[in-house]
Structure 1
Amino acid sequence: MNSNPIPDPHRKKIGSWILAGTVSFGALLCLVGIAIFLTSCGADLPSEASSRVFNKLSIEYIGEYQVPDNLQFKKTTVGGLSGLTYDRQRNRFYAVSDDRGDLSPARFYTLKLDLDTKNPDRVKFNKVDILDVTLLKNASGETYAKGTTDTEAIALTPQSSVIISSEGDRGKNIPPFISEFDLKTGKVKQALPIPQRYLPDTEGKRGIQNNLAFEGITLSPTGTLPASGEPLRLFAATESALMQDKEVSKVGENGKIPGAKNRWLHYLISDRAEFVSEHLYQLDSPPLGAVEHGLSEIQSIDTSGHFLTLERSFGLTGFRVKLFQTSMAGATDTTKIASFKGSTNIQAIKKELAFDLKTLDIYIDNLEGMTLGSRLPDGSQTLLLVSDNNFTNRQITQFLLFKFKQG
C-alpha cells in the first residue's frame, strides 16, 4: 500500500471527500429529512417519443481488475488514470494520468487487456498489462513544468496522434487546454481554440471552475480522415458549470436539487482545429449527501450524434456512477448565450439512463475514464471504465469491463 503523503495538488478532491465524512450528525439528519425529494435510483421507462430518439442498448458486466497499489513503471508511478481511448489497429488502450508533475511528468500509458474469450458466453477479464509510458512535451520538446497541467481526458485520431485535455488551475491563473500530441513522441502538434468564456478571469465571474473543466472528450467514430477527406469531429464537455452559469443549489418545485448546467463543445479537426458549436448538457440531480457531482467522461457510440456519458458523485455514501445515452438531435446551439442562469428556452442535449452501476453490488471507486474497445466473439463491443485513485492508499485503480451492444 502507498503510505506516502498525498501531494498537495492531489488533495483537491480528497480534502473535500474527507470533509464530507465529518459532516455533523445534525446536518445529516437534515439531509435525510428531504431524502424523499431527491434523485431516485432508477429511471422512468422510456416513452414512445424517446424510443425514436435513442438506440436500444445492452450493457452487461464482465469483470474487474485492480492495478497493484503504488505500481512503478519506467520510473513513473502508475495512478491518477482519468481518461481512456482505444487503438483498434494495434489493439491497445491509452490511459492519461492526471498527475500534475508531482510524482512524474504529464503522461499517458499504453495498455493491453488480457481476455479469455474461449467461451463466448463467459468472457473472462484476467488483467491489464502496462506496455509503455509516453511523456507529454511542449512545443520546445520539453516535458511540462510541475503544476502547469491537469490532464483528464484522451482521444485517439487516425493520424497517429492523441488529443488530450487539461483542466488547468484557476487558482494559479493557468488556463485549461485541449491539444493534439504525437502518439509516439508525445510532442504537442496543435492547440485547439478555447472560447474566451471558458478562460478564468480575476474577478471570479467568468470561466471554468477550479478542477471542474474539460473532464471528457471523444471523437466521432468516423475517424477516417485520410480516406474520406472529411474532418474529424471532436466533442468536449466540462465537468460542471462555468462560473457565469453556476446557480445556487436549492430544492426545486419537483422536490429535487437541480444538477449543474454544463457546456458541451463541438470541433472539426483537420490540419487546423475549428470550433463549430456548443450545447447545454444538464447534469442529473445530485444524490443525497453528495459533495462532488459531475460529468466525468463522454464517449461517442455512432455517427448519428449518440453518446454515452458518465456521471459520477461522491459523498456520505461513497461513490455513485451512472451511464446515460445522450442524443444531440434538436439541441440548441448555445454559442451566443452568455449565461445559462434563468434560461428556460434552451433545448438541452437529450439523455436517458442506460446503466446504474449501483445494481452491480460491488465496490465502486472514483470512475473517470471510459471507452469502447475490441469486438467480442458474439459481435458485441467491450466497454472499459477506469478509476482515478488520486495517488492515495485510500483508493484503488480499478478497471471494470462490460459487454456493450446496440440494437
Structure 2
Amino acid sequence: MRSSLTRRACAAALLLASTLSPAVATAAARPADPAQPTARAAHARLLGEKTVPYKLDFQGTTVGGLSGIDRDPCTGEYVFISDDRGYTQPARFYTAKLDVDAGGVHAVDFTGTHSFRRPDGSPYPSPALDDGNAVDPEEIRVDPVACDYWWGQEGDRPKTAGPPVIQPSIRFASPSSGAYLGELPLPGNYAITADRGPRRNQAIEALTFEARGRVLTSAIEGPLLQDGPEPTTEHGALVRVTKQRRDGSVLGQFAYPLEKIFAVNDPNSPWGPDTGVPSILAFPDDPDRYLVLERTWVAGAGYKVRLFEATTRGATDVKDLDSLATDGEAVKPMRKKLVADFHDLGLSTVDNTEGMTWGPYLGRGERALILVSDDNFAEDAVTQLVALGIR
C-alpha cells in the first residue's frame, strides 16, 4: 500500500529541487547550437534478462502486452503499462519490484494493478463498443515532480468508414487508483483527420520527462501522413519528436530519421512490415540528449531491435512546417548514433521490445537500462525484461 504522506513529501522535495534548478528548462528551450560538439556516444553491454510467465494471473488480471516501463522515484518500484485495450481486461497498469544489479535481472515481483479511469470514474470501454471512448495504452512515465502517472495512448484511425475516430492523448492518472487527473494539450499535427496526422497504430508510443519534470518529450511512432511515405527497404522516414512544457505549450518539434526496413517482407504473408519508435528516454544530465528505441518486424525475418543515441541539438525546429515531405528540403534532422543492435547482445531471443527506463546506478559511470517486450498476449511471443549497462 502506498503512503500518500510519503508521496506528498517526495513530490514536495522534487518540486523544490526543480524550483531551485531553472537551468534545465532554459537549456531545453534555448535555440540549438550547431557548433556545439556531440557528447561521447553511449556504450551498452548486456547485464542479463528475465522472462515473465505467459498469461501470468495477477489479482484477477492477465499480465501481458507490457509496452511501457518506468521507475517511480517515490517508491523505488517500477510501473508497467499494458496495451490491452479492454479485450482481456480494462486498460491498466502494474507495479512491481525488480531486483536488478550488475549481475542482471534476478526477480520480477508484481505488487499491484489498477485500471485507468475515465473522468466519471468508470474504466475505459472495449473498442468493441464503438462509442469512441476506448483507448490504446502504449507508454507510461512517472512525473518527477508529483509522482503521478502520465500515460500515452495512440487512439485509433479506423480502417473502414463507420467506427469512430479516437484521438491520441497524453493523460495523467493517480498511482493509487488509476483515477483520471487531467490531460496534456497536444500539438495540432498530432490530431487524426481524414488525410493528415498519424497513421493507424503509429501515433504516440514514446514519452519521456527531462530530469526535473519541466519538459515532456513525445515521439510519433511513424511518419505523419503529410510527412511522406513509411520506410521501405530502400529508404527511411522522418518522424516528429516534440518538446512541451507541462501546460502543453510547444518548445520545439524535430525530425528524427527512422531507419529503412532491414529485410524484404515475405510476399506470401498477409501482414506487411511494421516499424517505428516505441520508446524514447532522456539522459538525466542533458535535456537535449536521448536514447531512442527502434523496433521493426518483417514477415519471414522476425524482429530487429536497435537502440540509438540522438540529440535535438543542432536540429531544425519543424513545428511550423506543414509537411516534412514538401516543406522539408532544408530540414536538418536529429543526429543519431547506434548504441546497440539487440542481435549482437547475446540474448536468448529478440522479440517485440517496446519500453525502457533507467535503472540503478552501477558505479564507475555506468547505469542500468531496463527494457520490456510486449508479447501481444500471444503464446509464440515473450514478455522479456532485459537489463543493459549504459556507460
Instruction: Provide TM-score, normalisation by structure 1.
Output: 0.78
2:291 to 308, 323, 331: 308
Tell me if 1:333 matches 2:317.
Answer: yes
Counterpart residue number, 1:253:
none
Letter in structure 2 aligned against 1:313:
T
The alpha-carbon deviation at position 249 of structure 1 amounts to 5.8
1:320 to 299, 304, 319: 304
Within 5 Å, give how 1:83-122 maps onto structure 2.
83-115=68-100
Within 5 Å, give how 1:4-403 maps onto structure 2.
52-115=37-100, 123-147=103-127, 148-157=134-143, 158-171=145-158, 172-201=164-193, 203=194, 205-223=195-213, 232-247=214-229, 257-269=234-246, 272-289=247-264, 291-301=273-283, 302-315=285-298, 316-342=300-326, 343-362=328-347, 363-378=349-364, 380-403=366-389
Letter in structure 1 aligned against 2:86:
G
Decide whether aligned partners of structure 1 residues 243 and 380 sit closer, same or farther in structure 2, where only a CA change above 3 A counts. same
Distance in 1 of aligned mates of 2:180 and 2:334: 31
SS in 2 for 1:398: strand
Distance in 1 of aligned mates of 2:238 and 2:72: 32
Which ranges of structure 2 fall in alignment gaps of 5 or more residues?
1-33, 128-133, 159-163, 266-272
The alpha-carbon deviation at position 383 of structure 1 amounts to 0.4
RMSD: 1.9
Aligned length: 335
Distance in 1 of aligned mates of 2:40 and 2:73: 23
The alpha-carbon deviation at position 51 of structure 1 amounts to 10
Distance in 2 of aligned mates of 1:346 and 1:95: 36
The alpha-carbon deviation at position 50 of structure 1 amounts to 10
Instruction: Provide TM-score, normalisation by structure 2.
Output: 0.81
The alpha-carbon deviation at position 90 of structure 1 amounts to 1.9
Distance in 1 of aligned mates of 2:230 and 2:74: 47
Distance in 2 of aligned mates of 1:178 and 1:73: 26
Letter in structure 1 aligned against 2:323:
S
SS in 2 for 1:305: strand
Distance in 2 of aligned mates of 1:50 and 1:137: 47
The alpha-carbon deviation at position 380 of structure 1 amounts to 2.4
Check conservation: 2:255, 2:333, Cα contact below 8 A: yes
The alpha-carbon deviation at position 125 of structure 1 amounts to 2.1
The alpha-carbon deviation at position 356 of structure 1 amounts to 1.1
Q: Which string of whole-angstrom CA distances, capped at 9 and with x for unpartnered residues, describes residues 145-198 of structure 1?
A: 112111101111120211100011110311111112122221222211123322
Distance in 2 of aligned mates of 1:209 and 1:56: 32
Letter in structure 1 aligned against 2:106:
N
Distance in 2 of aligned mates of 1:153 and 1:200: 19
Check conservation: 2:230, 2:237, Cα contact below 8 A: no
Decide whether aligned partners of structure 1 residues 245 and 309 sit closer, same or farther in structure 2, where only a CA change above 3 A counts. same
Check conservation: 1:222, 1:303, Cα contact below 8 A: no
Check conservation: 2:72, 2:147, Cα contact below 8 A: no
| Runs of 4 or more above 3 Å deviation | none
Identity score, percent: 31
Distance in 1 of aligned mates of 2:276 and 2:230: 16
Moved more, 211-220 or 54-63: 54-63
Q: Which string of whole-angstrom CA distances, capped at 9 and with x for unpartnered residues, describes residues 101-155 of structure 1?
A: 111111111111124x5xxxx6242121111112111111111111211110111
Decide whether aligned partners of structure 1 residues 124 and 241 sit closer, same or farther in structure 2, where only a CA change above 3 A counts. closer
The alpha-carbon deviation at position 91 of structure 1 amounts to 1.6
Q: Which string of whole-angstrom CA distances, capped at 9 and with x for unpartnered residues, describes residues 364-389 of structure 1?
A: 11000011112225552210010000
Distance in 2 of aligned mates of 1:68 and 1:360: 22
The alpha-carbon deviation at position 248 of structure 1 amounts to 6.7
The alpha-carbon deviation at position 361 of structure 1 amounts to 3.5
